[in-house]
A = this chain, B = another copy of it.
């Protein structure tokens, strides 16, 4: 059986849990408390030298890290990843956008607000990340204003990747009030068959 090294409130872990569930693939979830440094132990660094969850451990022991690479791996040959050459590149474009322009601002702000003390350094970090996070949401809003999903007008791993931290953006201090197209899209994702919520295992 596949093993998923995970941390329950992580959006990056949630992406993989959500896709595995929607694909009907059974998996064993192994929780690592990142707040207790459990992803920086010698044992964990053997499965991901970069010290991060999620890690998908295949049946032969091979370990794959980086949430969006795991999504791409699992979705191959399914409806979540079309065969079309350009569509696949566009899905990757949105997944790289997510990891570069969205996650470091929205997910990191959320992490700081959810865990630990709000030090002056973190407060300054939040200030810096706020306009960058809103800029990423603006890019999404503009794209979704004329579309139902991110790529090819169907639900793909690009939507899963961007849903993960967008639907909890308020926990990072980002208000979605004026992002009408994003709100409609979030509702559309929530009604996809087999949808689970972020804390649901």
Contacts and interface: CB of A to CB of B under 8 A. Distances in A.
Interface of A: 49-50, 58, 62, 64-70, 72-73, 76, 85-86, 88-90, 92-93, 95-97, 99-101, 103-104, 136, 139, 142-143
Give the copy number.
Answer: 2
26 contacts: A49-B139, A49-B142, A50-B97, A50-B139, A62-B86, A64-B89, A64-B93, A65-B93, A65-B97, A66-B92, A66-B93, A66-B100, A67-B96, A68-B96, A69-B93, A69-B95, A70-B89, A73-B86, A73-B88, A73-B89, A73-B92, A76-B88, A92-B92, A99-B100, A100-B100, A100-B103
Nearest to A70: B89
